[in-house]
Amino acid sequence: MSQPPKQNAKPPSRETTTGEGLGHRDHPDLQLLWTSLQRVGFWAAVVIPFLYLPVLFTGIETFAEVVVFTLLIALNAVSLVVGHPHHN
């Protein structure tokens, strides 16, 4: 004979049923890590554009300066994506 379902049982979350997401909502340590990464990403996205200025004012003449400028743009893009959900 089967038992009736529990009255207090929560329905499974989307993350556990589909396997999507990081599952960080279930683990407080991962939630803290993700929140910290979002905070750092947000503020990095704010600060990194100021690092463009010295490169732009001195001019981009050497290959090393092209690499530095390209890496700054890529780092800024990653920071924007990671930091976007901060304080939402």
Asked if 48 and 82 count as a contact pair (C-beta separation under 8 A), the reply is: no
Whether 3 shows a pLDDT value over 90: the answer reads no
Closest CA to 40 of 88, 7, 71, 81: 81
Count other C-beta atoms under 10 Å from residue 83's C-beta. Answer: 19
Q: How much is the pLDDT for 47?
A: 93
Which of the pair, 14 or 29, is modelled with greater confidence? 29
- For the chain, the domains span 23-83
Residue positions counted in the chain: 88
Q: Which residues contact 42 (CB under 8 A, 6 or more apart)?
A: 79, 82, 83, 84, 86, 87
Is pTM beyond 0.85? Reply is no
Tokens of 39: 């905070």
pLDDT tens sequence across 15-66: 444 445 555 566 778 888 888 888 999 899 999 999 999 988 999 999 999 9
Question: Where residue 83 falls among pLDDT bands split at 50, 70, 90?
Answer: confident
